[in-house]
Structure 1
């Protein structure tokens, strides 16, 4: 959730206090909206939060999921389903 009293800042404030602002980003995990002449121009966020957004977008996008699955196949990161099912049967003592 964005806190409009803290998370919307003029670009000059960010520029003049960048170390402090970066520390706040790491601590709060909330993005900072930077303004120029009172209008939003950019958003700064910590790298882990951005990666989480990318991961969420990828999981929500069916085409991206298919692309990742095909890439996994090409890269050999898959196993036959019967092998996985047999492993699960053994692990959880599931009868045939």
Structure 2
């Protein structure tokens, strides 16, 4: 979780204290927001935390797809698996 009092630094400070700040990133697992000319420009994060973020985003995407599919089935927009497989096999047979 981002701590606004500790996790926002200037790019200049990051350049001066890279080793210390990277060690802190690894220890706390908190992202670091870097500013350029007083404006937020970059987020720096340790690899493990970034991978966890990617995994969470992928899970969310999957869950949204499942939810959408369930809603479509409730609305009668889906096809029975038997019908879908029959169509696929027909297309394969016709392609031969």
Q: What's 1:45 paired with?
A: 45
The structure with the largest alpha-carbon Rg is 2
Return 5+ residue gaps in structure 2 as ranges.
Answer: 67-96
How many equivalent pairs are there?
Answer: 66
Deviations 1:45-83 (A, max 9, x none): 0000000000001111139x89xxxxxxxxxxxxxxxxx
Query: For the residues of structure 1 that align with 2:12 and 2:3, how far apart are their CA atoms?
Result: 19
Return 5+ residue gaps in structure 1 as ranges.
Answer: 67-96
User: For 2:25, what is the secondary structure of its paired residue?
Assistant: helix
Matches within 5 A, 1:73-84: none
Query: For the residues of structure 2 that align with 1:33 and 1:5, how far apart are their CA atoms?
Result: 11
Tell me the TM-score normalized by structure 2: 0.63
Structure with greater proportional helix content: 2
Q: What's 2:11 paired with?
A: 11
Deviations 1:4-63 (A, max 9, x none): 121000000000000000000011000000000111100000000000000001111139
Query: For the residues of structure 1 that align with 2:19 and 2:46, how far apart are their CA atoms?
Result: 13
Displacement of 1:3: 1.3
Query: For the residues of structure 1 that align with 2:3 and 2:50, how far apart are their CA atoms?
Result: 18
Tell me the TM-score normalized by structure 1: 0.63
